[in-house]
Amino acid sequence: MINFSDFEKKIGVSFKDKNLLKQAFIHRSYINENGGTGLSHNERLEFLGDAVLELIVTDFLFKKYPTYTEGELTALRSALVNAIIISQIATKIEMNDYLLLSKGESKDNGKARQYILANTYEALVGAIYLDGGYGVADKFIAKTLLPHTEEIVAKKLWRDAKSLVQEKAQEFVSCTPQYSVLSETGPDHDKHFTVGIYFGSSLIAEGKGKSKQEAEQKAAEAALKVKNWLD
């Protein structure tokens, strides 16, 4: 079985309840293949961790950027708490080495693994919060995620891509972008959408995501790059 003690040292968090730490890494597919172990998957922890993460990031941004409007803070938080950045952080702290997946799931190292890692990071935050409290979770997030804020602000990555592409499209091509779902795959609990962004009848770019909203954002970001509208 996986020994999590090295991981605890790596993140600087020592768990009182080691089973809680292990549960954070258990994907639903592992339980389907390993019934009767008495273990449960990490989705409840992910639900809790998502809320803890949002509160800690919101509190940090509120204090750090006192002149930002509610809309700007919301956009900045969305840019910080997104699957791509969080999966990169999870990879950096080597969470991939501890994932408990089904044999089939463990072979997929593409986009699906990114989402699993991001969800597992959120589950880990939930486990840290339950085991050590808000302060310990706050320190973990401050150490792993919050340092990325400066880059996001410096590069203006927090701007809402859909709003920006609409503004640019109206300015340069006198039209309002339209979005259309091109494909939808996966079971209900793990949907993946591909969305196209159109200027009139012309398909400009595509985006993928676990929700239509995320896929639309990705399509908008891609369109901004295609049109060279990122200033």
Confirm whether 50 is a catalytic residue.
yes
* Alpha carbons 204 and 192: distance in angstroms, whole number: 20
Residue 89 lies in a domain: yes
Question: Quick one: 124 and 89 in the same domain?
Answer: yes
Q: How many independent structural domains does the chain possess?
A: 2
Last residue of a domain, one of 154, 169, 203: 154
Last residue of a domain, one of 107, 135, 154: 154
Same domain (yes/no): 169, 215: yes
Write the pLDDT tens digit of every residue in 106-145. 877 777 788 899 999 999 999 999 999 999 999 999 999 9
From 46, 105, 122, 131, active-site residue: 122
Residue 98 near residue 4, CB atoms below 8 Å: yes
For the cut 70, the answer to whether the pLDDT of residue 231 exceeds it is: no
Its domain, for residue 67, covers 5-154
Residues 141, 194 share a domain: no
Domain finish residue from 154, 178, 205: 154
Q: Residue 81 — φ and ψ, nearest 5°?
A: -95, 70
Do 43 and 132 lie in one domain? The reply is yes
Is 231 within the bounds of a domain?
no
Catalytic, out of 8, 43, 50, 72: 50
pLDDT score, position 93: 95
Residue 122 bears catalytic tag: yes
pTM of the model: 0.71
Q: Report pLDDT for 91.
A: 94
Query: Are the C-beta atoms of residues 221 and 161 closer than 8 Å to each other?
Result: yes
Q: Give tens-digit pLDDT for 138-166.
A: 999 999 999 989 887 776 666 678 888 98
Look at residue 76 in the predicted model and tell me its pLDDT: 86
Residue 104 belongs to some domain of the structure:
yes
Same-domain status, 170 and 147: no
